[in-house]
A and B are shown apart, each in its own frame.
Chain A
Amino acid sequence: QAVVTQEPSLSVSPGGTVTLTCGSSTGTVTSGHRPYWFQQKPGQAPRTLIYDTSNKHSWTPARFSGSLLGGKATLTLSGAQPEDEAEYFCLLTYSGPWVFGGGTKLTVL
């Protein structure tokens, strides 16, 4: 099965902007992979932020956005808040099977 890659860790200043990326060992990430982004805080279940590349759930803060850029899926956080400190996982689907990325630990400081 494919390997999905993410930055292990990133940091952002409060109010700043950061972009997390999600790549695939099989090549370019496309909308056909239906990229998802999940946020997970310690001791909590994951929460889905973005589905199908760029769609948001009703609970997704407006400061989060998803897109495709440079052959990867991206999650951009604009105007970071202290409560955004968490681990973020991307997910790509491969015509049935799913593959999660290893996660990006985002620090807001």
Chain B
Amino acid sequence: DVKVTQSSRYLVKRTGEKVFLECVQDMDHENMFWYRQDPGLGLRLIYFSYDVKMKEKGDIPEGYSVSREKKERFSLILESASTNQTSMYLCASRAGGTTDTQYFGPGTRLTVL
């Protein structure tokens, strides 16, 4: 069974703090993704990575950065958290192209006060 884990289920941070969200997958997948999910807006892609140290901006990268130093781990970084980054963050991984199954982590509900 593919497993995608995220470092926290719930996180509360203050405005201006640096926030790290970590995602680990155990199936040697090439591709990893970070999404945020907001009511009425659905899933929106922040960044994705198709290989170690490789990344591409998604639809809403502003205010975020990512790091992929090892194949199994993909980190999302909020350099200076703001209240409008309060959201559910979902990580996903996928072996190949978009016709392969995408596996999601359980999500991190981040609240920025």
Q: Do A and B bind each other?
A: no
